[in-house]
Amino acid sequence: MRCGATNLHVKFKQEINTSVENSSENQQFIEGVLSTFIVDDIYTITRNDQLIVRHGETLFLNHGVSQKQYISQEIRLLSRLTKTFCKLLSNKDGTVKDFLLP
C-alpha cells in the first residue's frame, strides 16, 4: 500500500458520503466497495458521476459484499470508458449521462 493511502481512503469515504444519499445499503456499498478504491483519476471520475455510483449500488444490491472485487472492476471499467469519451470529445468534465443522451 502506498504511503498515506489509508488517509486518502478515509478522505474518499467522507467525500462519497456527502455525494450520495445515506441509507444502510449505501453505507454498505461505500464501506465494502468504494472505500477500497485507489485514489487516482479513475477514482475522481467515479466519485463525481452519480450514474456510475448508482450502477455500483445496484450491482452491490444484486451481488452483495462477497462480489465486491467484481463490482469494483465494473465501476472502474465504466469510469475508464467515461475518461476515454471525455478525451475523444474534448469534454473534460463529461459524465456517463452526457455520453448517453444525444
What is the rounded average pLDDT of the residues 45-57?
A: 92
- Extract the C-alpha cell encoding 69: 472485487
Coil, helix or strand for 38? coil
Could you report the per-residue pLDDT of 54-76, keeping only the tens digit for each? 999 999 999 988 999 999 999 99
User: How far apart are alpha carbons 7 and 51 in whole angstroms?
Assistant: 26
Could you report the per-residue pLDDT of 15-36, keeping only the tens digit for each? 444 444 556 767 888 888 888 8
Q: Which residue has the cell 468534465?
A: 93
User: How far apart are alpha carbons 3 and 26 in whole angstroms?
Assistant: 28
Q: What is the DSSP letter of 95?
A: -
